[in-house]
Amino acid sequence: MSKITRRTLLSTLAMAPAAAAMAQTEAPPEAAVYIISPRDGQRVRNPIVVRFGLRNMGVTQASSAARNAGHHHLLIDVDDPVDLKEPLPSDKNHLHYGGGQTEARIELTPGRHTLQLVLGDADHRPFTPLLQSQKIGIFVGSPRAAKAKK
């Protein structure tokens, strides 16, 4: 084997794990993620229970290599599109449910908010094609207004 061929082979082998780690996880046909509740336009009070829905796939824990399964990420007041090449961020606007949860109890400030689900793979990366729910809008009532009604 010549030096150039051997060098090319070694270089290719060295890059293979990185390329495999960057490969997008494919979603099965007709898979869909959606928000069961609350409904779009609903007035809610804290704590808010958000129920996650998933069709034609399974829910599993983060880091699980289970085929055709992923875990939920709840995006709160996020306007930027999801970067398909990067893991989903983890912050106050990108909540990870890597334990395989199918609902969340959250607290939001009074006012208007948007909610959207994105299904992530074992490494918190979005599937391809992107599995994201319709974005819904909710209105969170203030605790003071809720007490006044009683």
- Domain map of the chain by residue range? 27-149
With bands split at pLDDT 50, 70 and 90, how would you rate the model's confidence at 11?
very low
pLDDT of residue 147: 52
- Predicted TM-score of the model (pTM): 0.81
Please state the three-class secondary structure of the chain as a single string.
CCHHHHHHHHHHHHHHHHHHHHCCCECCCCCEEEEEECCCCCEECCCEEEEEEEECCEECCCCCCCCCEEEEEEEECCCCCCCCCCCCCCECCEEEECCCCCEEEECCCCEEEEEEEEEECCCCCECECCCECCCEEEEECCHHHHHHHC
Instruction: Provide the pLDDT confidence category of residue 143 given band limits of 50, 70 and 90.
Output: confident
Which one is the CATH code of 27-149: 2.60.40.10, 1.10.10.60, 1.20.1050.10, 2.40.50.1020? 2.60.40.10
Reported confidence tier of residue 119, pLDDT bands at 50, 70, 90: very high
pLDDT in tens, 31-45: 999 999 999 999 999
Q: What is the mean pLDDT of residues 123-149?
A: 86
Q: Mean pLDDT, to the nearest integer, of 96-104? A: 97
